[in-house]
Amino acid sequence: MPKRYFGAQPTPEQIDAKIAGLGGWFEIDLDRLSANLAAIRARTGVEVMPVVKNNAYGHGLRPICSALAADGIKWLMVAKLAEARAIARWDLGCDVVNMDALYTDAQFGQVVEAGITQVVFTEAMATRLNEAALRAGRRAGVFLKIDTGLHRVGVDHAQAIGLIRKIAAMEGIEIRGTFSTLMQDDTQDQLILERFQTVLDQMARDGIDPGFRSVSSTHGIFHYPDAWFDMVRPAMVLFGIYPWAPDRDSGLEVSQVLTFKARIEELKPVAAGESVTYFGAYTAERDIQVGTLHAGFFDALPRELANKAIILVGGKPCPSIGSISLNHCLFDATDAQAQIGDTVTVIAKEGVNDLVSTARTAGWMVYSLLNHLSPFVPRVYYRGGAPVAIEEPPGLPAA
């Protein structure tokens, strides 16, 4: 259960002692996560199945899933079988939907054994899952993926009912959901909804229960009330991200959950006319003091932020200078009151260097930035302003 994870964590004082020895870390505000979830629930009024793929969009899979389960979430969705199996092992009281492809009999067996709900869209997939379920003396849950125009994966909407009839007749299969995906193109999304509804109407005529009907992820939650159906699948919006400017005018208020903190590793004078970092990417126009952070593009910062990033030092914006190295970033600390070891904010919750602004400055999608947050950066989780959990780098000894 969720309490098991947080109950096994170090005390706040012990976590603070660990933070004191870190050169860089992500902070995740679980109060904001809860508030964002509440806002999504209030807006849509339907079941919420958070998409927590790719390590919960970089926020840390187990603590985020544990926090969501504590807030009453009953369904979670991932893109990799390994993540689905991990969530099942943690016994959070949630069902998990796996979007990953299955290739071996062993994988089909693992899905059935773990009680994972599998996305299916071909007869071959459904047949093998059905056989695995019958061998185990169980029923396997499935979410049917309908391709309504994205042309990625899914059974084509025009042929969907034929496949669905076959799946519905399989003794070892239980249809728990039927879903599709918006194209996020206003000229085509209405047609996508019409195609999806046609499939649902065909299922109704055949007396086939579609389970949860779902189309909307973050974009749909912001802009398409007609696409909410029985279940929405938030990802970036759950973590307080407005991917595009019009999203802020949607009437849904959310706030960013993640912050990237680092410590000043070095401070040194650089004379006017001298260059810094590889390729001499920055030349000082005056005598300056350069601050060095032990954080770079390995951690979270795109290389395209060379000479563009903003570092907050005591709340004061300081420009980065030179290239973003694998493990280092330099900034102009001349006008800041800074000392070696001071904590600075590399990515803030809001303002000139929040996630969206940082991504935009780099010429990246914020989606890409979130999914390039290194799993080797420690993550610290807060409730009520106090640290309640810490996730240290996987596969490495604790600091």
Tokens of 67: 């926090």
Domain layout of the chain by residue ranges: 30-237, 258-377
What are the mean pLDDT values of the chain's consecutive 10-residue runs (399 residues total)? 87 98 97 98 98 97 98 98 97 97 98 98 98 98 96 96 98 98 89 97 98 97 96 98 95 98 97 95 96 96 97 96 97 96 98 97 96 96 98 73
pLDDT of residue 2: 72
Q: What is the CATH number of domain 258-377?
A: 2.40.37.10
pTM: predicted TM-score of the whole model, two decimal places: 0.96
SS3 273: coil
Residue with the two structure tokens 């969206």: 356
Tokens of 81: 């079988």
Q: Among 390, 346, 349, which residue's Cα sits nearest to residue 258?
A: 349
Residues 130/138, Cβ–Cβ less than 8 Å: no
CATH classification of 30-237, choosing from 3.40.50.12280, 2.40.37.10, 3.20.20.10, 1.20.1560.10? 3.20.20.10
Residues 257/57, Cβ–Cβ less than 8 Å: no
d(CA 122, CA 280): 55
pLDDT of residue 300: 95
pLDDT of residue 394: 78
Dihedral in degrees, nearest 10, Cα atoms 118, 119, 120, 124: -40
Burial 363-375 (b: 16+ CB within 10 A, else e): ebebeebbebbbe
pLDDT of residue 396: 65
d(CA 231, CA 236): 16
Residues 180/141, Cβ–Cβ less than 8 Å: no
d(CA 181, CA 262): 38
**Angle in degrees, CA 363, 52, 34, rounded to 5:** 95
Q: Beta strand pairing status for 288-293 and 258-270?
A: antiparallel
Where does residue 249 rank: exposed (0-12), middle (13-18), buried (19+ CB within 10 A)?
exposed
Whether 258-377 and 30-237 are alike in CATH topology: the answer is no
Q: Among 176, 186, 175, which residue's Cα sits nearest to residue 231?
A: 176
pLDDT of residue 129: 98
SS3 178: strand
